[in-house]
Amino acid sequence: MQEFEIFAEINQIDGYSYYRMVQEDYADYPSFTRGEYPVPFPPAAVFAESKRLGLFSAFRIGQGYPSRLPQINPEETPLHIDCFRFRYEDRGQFKGDARPGETYEEYRTRYYRELFAYQQQHPENVLLCIYGECDTGCPWPADRNFASREEAYQFFYDFVTNNPRATECANRVMHEMGLDWQRANVMIHGASNFAIPYYFAWGFPQVEIERGLGTSLNMQVSLGYLRGAWKQFGRKSHWGIDFSTHQPNYNQCNWYDENGIRIGGYSESFIERCWLYAWLGGAEYLLQEGSDYTHWTFSQDGSFRLSALGERAKAFADFTLRSGCPRGVPVCPAAVLLDYYNGYEHFSGCSWPRPSVWGNRLPANNTDLHIGNVFNAFYPGQSLTGQTDAVLNPDCPYRTRQEYRQMCQQGADLRHLELGHLVPSPSGDAVEVLWDNAALETMREYPVLIPAGSARLPEEVLEEYVAPGGTLAAAYNMLPKSVLAKLSAEQLPGKSTDWDYDRIRLADGTFSSDGQRYGFRRFSIPAGEVLACNSRDIPIVYRIPYQKGAVLLCTVPLGQELSGVELIGCWAEILRREVQLHYPVEFSSRGILQLAVNVLPDGELLLGLFNNTASPWSGEVKIKGREQVKASAVYPQAQPFDLQSATVEPFSAKIIRVSRVAG
């Protein structure tokens, strides 16, 4: 496989799948029998046309994969096989494929033997997705809660790695053939952030996370989890994004009627921005799920042409696969540190649109909510990924799938509802995620370290992280007592009045926040510089120098208001400013601009400027430490770009290459 691959579907729906879809009145794809679609399912010819146009560099096949293998040579084109999950619905396929007298278990065993044998013929270019939808499909106990997070973790580990319904058979066959996950190039597929680090920790060589589908989580936070886990666990696993266009409550991917009008899914501009962000964010591959539907407009006479999304896919492939533009490495100066067993999921799809812990089998408390609040400080609006349905957003202009379809057919612009997946980033897309068992060497890769939730800091964090020059930003109750002692931070006796509902202001007078109820603790810190005070001039935030580094200490528990809804405004602003100090670009987001920075091998920069709002953005993008630079847009069009008077139109993205001016 090359540095970046774009995977597409090969004839995702075959005759059996179509039969099952009709029998079950399946809603995931548009129905020919209900008069929604001009053909029963996309014809096989779209595969050849996709190759001719160069839309993709690799392909995914699934379900009854053997019949599709002759269409592709893995030595020329990487192949992703989405294997049977061996749930009840696959027994229908078993009836069609089984040999005379073959039992279901014998069929499963043969299926995996043939699968692994084929993969071993092409060990580098065939990826086997055997462990699919493990996190969202985990059968959490229906009749009990967990006694602890450690128990929940063990339950999840056992289910993923060796559950009798699916993975046990694959593991047994691998063992019998002398294989393991690495040698068989096994992939695990998930859709939940809480599980991402485990997939890297457990040693899966391929990790695929689905985004876009339903109300899945924010892309910026998700890629922060992925990159951080990749770094923490040895930079060995490969990872990619499966981007699905299925929209919640309508539950159909992008599809187009005979006139080329989009009926399902999301806007083309939104999908293109997510694709670009996955590429810029370091994904090694991007699966454009359902591409044999989403990228084409079909007619009843059998002819077909590229859909509006297909046109965007062609431009995206031309840029990422053929333009020769390097993408470099994302610049992320801050790490959010989480407890290894936290199990926290901010948003679990339209069926559970609120924070949960371990499949909602443990209660989410204010300490858990702190995790989402920290992400909200850097990616405001990242929790709003459910705005495309009336349950979560009363202002949604449609209340049924029928109304939604009618609005699409009438050309309604619904892009303003596509919120939360990509959001403005006032400090830049600058945050990754580590677990609290990360090596201090890994923590030192980040100039700023921010513990969240119940993360436990190592006792040696001052000497091994702060002293060499790192900045640790935490509330007092998140620091070990030994750390507070070394900082000479003495907690003073409390008073009954140590809470308030007032204005907190920064000491330099540039920012203030109010409208929040909070408790606080009084401290004596002789070496501390007061960064923020409340209306009674009681210090709320200190900067405490320690050798070459510093500790930012908030005297409000967890740095958040009492109900756990959000961080204290001044504390969030201090965190953003500290991270911005270490970012190579200065800009003003103004609640509109999302900006990501990659550094190229020669020191050049690649900027991703995203506008995910209905308002235009204009302003200056200043490169720190460089008086003279040359900037040029490389996507969507190659042309000069003025960083001093930059503009980004609504619902669009620009990729900018910045180099030094010689002399």
- Residue 444 has what DSSP assignment? T
Q: What is the mean pLDDT of residues 76-87?
A: 80
CB 275 within 8 A of CB 240: no
Q: Which residue has the higher pLDDT, 98 or 73?
A: 73
- Burial code of 310-328, b = ≥16 C-beta within 10 A, e = fewer? bebbbebbebbbeeeeebb
Does 89 score more than 60 pLDDT? no
pLDDT reported for residue 115: 92
Give the residue range(s) of CATH 2.60.40.1180 domains in the chain. 586-660
pLDDT reported for residue 14: 65
Does 650 score more than 50 pLDDT? yes
Give the residue range(s) of CATH 3.20.20 domains in the chain. 5-25+41-241+268-286+301-325
pLDDT reported for residue 28: 66
pLDDT reported for residue 72: 86
386-443 confidence digits (pLDDT tens) = 677 787 788 889 988 888 888 999 999 999 999 899 999 999 999 999 999 999 999 9
Q: What is the mean pLDDT of residues 612-636?
A: 95
**pTM for the whole structure:** 0.96
CA distance 286 to 585: 27
Backbone angles phi, psi at 436, to 5 degrees: -75, 0
CB 237 within 8 A of CB 199: yes
What's the chain's Rg over C-alpha atoms?
26
Among 59-68, 377-386, 472-481, 590-599, whose mean pLDDT is lowest? 59-68
pLDDT reported for residue 503: 98
111-124 confidence digits (pLDDT tens) = 899 999 999 999 99
pLDDT reported for residue 34: 79
Backbone angles phi, psi at 356, to 5 degrees: -145, 165
pLDDT reported for residue 88: 42
pLDDT reported for residue 469: 98
Q: What is the mean pLDDT of residues 336-357?
A: 86
Q: What is the mean pLDDT of residues 39-62?
A: 90
Backbone angles phi, psi at 184, to 5 degrees: -90, 0
Beta strand pairing call for 646-648 and 617-619: antiparallel
Does 249 score more than 70 pLDDT? no
Mean pLDDT, all residues of the chain: 92
- 487: nearest Cα among 544, 538, 541: 544
Q: What is the mean pLDDT of residues 336-355?
A: 85
Does 226 score more than 60 pLDDT? yes
Q: Which residue has the higher pLDDT, 139 or 549?
A: 549
pLDDT reported for residue 64: 64
- 91: nearest Cα among 81, 103, 80, 100: 103
User: According to DSSP H, which parts of 167-290 are helical?
Assistant: 167-176, 196-201, 219-232, 268-280
Mutual angle of helices 308-317 and 268-280, in 10-degree steps: 20
Any idea which architecture 5-25+41-241+268-286+301-325 has in CATH?
Alpha-Beta Barrel (3.20)
CB 33 within 8 A of CB 313: no
Does 92 score more than 70 pLDDT? no
The CATH code belonging to domain 586-660 is 2.60.40.1180
Q: Which residue has the higher pLDDT, 300 or 26?
A: 300
Does 19 score more than 90 pLDDT? no
pLDDT band at 250 (very low <50, low <70, confident <90, very high): low
Looking at the DSSP assignment, which residues form a beta bridge with residue 320?
none
496-534 confidence digits (pLDDT tens) = 999 999 999 999 999 999 999 999 999 999 999 999 999
pLDDT band at 27 (very low <50, low <70, confident <90, very high): low
Does 16 score more than 90 pLDDT? no
